[in-house]
A and B are shown apart, each in its own frame.
Chain A
């Protein structure tokens, strides 16, 4: 079917498909292996440590949820994981073979009455650390995306002339701001 597409868009579509890495997880013991692969891909694209931490945490939670709740820890079933890392976005999709759940019915773990509940934090963490989170209607597949943050602007180069200048101090009385700045530098 793809043969009638223009060559450039066909090539683009094939590259897009190939860029997704696919793996399977059968038990919690195998989660670390997947996280290592994702970590490696993120480091390769020079994502910040903070971003890598957030993506790996969200992915770990999704895989644990799939194995624990979706498969009830039965090792015979495998969870499908796909991930794609480029210079702008990291995307992961996790799908289990369970009956799914309704994410809107998961209690808010930040509510006072739920603070001591041991469950429900995984979904919260996924939303907290990822830019985009969506489930399918059945609730057995979650897709997440993290948009790369712009690197922070570099601080203004330090210049002594702006900090200690007796001439300037004589010309203008010290304000609270400049006094604070000197105290900070000291």
Chain B
């Protein structure tokens, strides 16, 4: 299941960078195919999401490019980094 907070943050960022309403974005929305994003737009989204969630987005995920893939990756890595921090 998708973390709703992370999903909403991802949708807001994608919408802001690509000038698309969040209402027109679903988990299956593909950034390139459905929203017309090019590689420059995607790297801009990556920059914003990395700052927003404090996570480095790995290279294959940058091209996987569905909103659900991005949100899932962020969910896993935000939680991993939170676990690593709590171990100290």
A residues near B, CB below 8 A? 1-5, 9, 12-14, 16-17, 80, 82, 91, 93, 95, 132, 134-138, 140-141, 143, 145
Contacts and interface: CB of A to CB of B under 8 A. Distances in A.
A113 B76 CA distance: 39
A93 B48 CA distance: 14
SS of B interface (majority):
helix
Given A9-B12, A14-B19, A136-B39, 6 more contacts: A1-B21, A2-B21, A132-B47, A134-B62, A136-B62, A143-B40
Contacts of A17: 19
Interface residues of B, number: 23
Given A1-B21, A2-B20, A13-B15, A137 B47 contact: no
B5 interface: no
A42 to B, nearest CB: 18
A180 to B, nearest CB: 38
SS of A interface (majority):
mixed
Contacts of B59: 135, 137
Which 10 A-B residue pairings sit nearest by Cβ, starting from the closest? A143-B43, A137-B63, A136-B39, A141-B39, A4-B21, A13-B16, A5-B21, A93-B40, A1-B24, A4-B23
Residue from B20, B23, B43, B44 with most neighbouring chain A CB atoms (10 Å): B43
Interface string B40-66: 101110110010000000011011000
Nearest to A100: B39
A16 B16 contact: yes
Contact of A93 (B22, B43, B62): B43
B38 to A, nearest CB: 8
Nearest to B25: A1
Interface in B53-86: 59-60, 62-63
A16 B43 contact: no
Nearest to A147: B51
B19 A2 contact: yes
B60 A141 contact: no
